[in-house]
Amino acid sequence: MYTTGKRKIGLYGGSFNPIHVGHITLAKRLMEVAGLDEVWMMVSPQNPFKANDTLLADDLRLAMTRKALEGETHIAACDYEFHLPKPSYTWNTLQALGRDCPDCEFTLLIGGDNWQAFDRWFRGEDIVDRYRVVVYPRRGAEVDATMLPPHVQLVDTPLVNVSSTEIRRRVAAGESIRGMVPEAIEADVLKYYAR
C-alpha cells in the first residue's frame, strides 16, 4: 500500500490526558510491527465520542506529551489537530495532512475498541478505502482478523495495563503514580490533576 520514497508515518491519536508509559511503549511497538518510519502522537483537542469534563487544557496536555517524548527517536508529539476546525474528525485530519505533507504516507493507528465503533466514525468507510489502518489489541475489545477489510491490519502488541483514567483517579486519591508516567512529567501530572 505504501509508495516507495515517501516517509511512512503512523498517526496515534488520543487525548493523552495524561500521556503514560503504556502509550509510549505501544507507539514504539507499533512503529516496529507496522514498518513505520515515525509515529506522530496526535494530541486531540476534542474526541467526538468523549465528554470533555475531565480533559486538561490542550496546551498543558501537549506540553506534557512533548516533555514525555524528549529523547525518543522517531516518536513525536503533534498538535496538528489543534489548528483544524472542531470537532476534530480523523477524515478531515487525514485529508489536510495529505495536502500539507505530500512526502508522507499516513497509517492510522487505533485500538480494538475504536475499531469496534469505526462504523460510527465520520467517513469511516472512506478512511478504510484510502488509508492503511493498523488495529492494536485493547482489553475487552476483541477483533477478528479474518473479518477485516484489505487495508486494515491487526497487529500483535502487548496489552497496556496503564490507563489515563486510573492515573487521574490515583492523583485525586493521593496515591502513587510512580512508574505509570515518564519521570520527566510526574510532577506535572501530580500538579495538574490534583483536585
- Predicted local confidence at residue 115, as pLDDT: 96
Cell (9 digits) for 166: 486510573
Say which CATH number the domain at 119 has.
3.40.50.620
Inside any domain, residue 179 = no
- Predicted local confidence at residue 161, as pLDDT: 86
Which residues have CB under 8 Å from 183's CB, separation 6+?
Answer: none
Query: Rg (Cα) of the chain, in Å, rounded?
Result: 16
Inside any domain, residue 188 = no
User: Which DSSP string do the residues of 92-108 spell out, in sequence order?
Assistant: HHHHHHHHH-TTEEEEE
Using alpha carbons only, give the angle 92, 41, 94 rounded to the nearest 5 degrees: 20
Per-residue pLDDT 10s for the chain (195 aa) are 555 689 999 999 999 999 999 999 999 999 999 999 999 999 998 655 656 678 898 999 999 999 999 999 999 999 999 999 888 899 999 999 999 999 999 999 999 999 999 999 999 999 999 999 999 998 888 898 888 998 899 998 888 889 999 999 999 999 999 999 999 999 999 999 987
Does the reported pTM lie above 0.75? yes
Range of the domain at 54: 7-160
Inside any domain, residue 171 = no
Inside any domain, residue 116 = yes
Inside any domain, residue 32 = yes
In the chain, how many domains are there? 1
Inside any domain, residue 108 = yes
Inside any domain, residue 185 = no
Alpha helices in 11-84 (DSSP H): 21-33, 58-69
Inside any domain, residue 58 = yes
- Predicted local confidence at residue 22, as pLDDT: 95
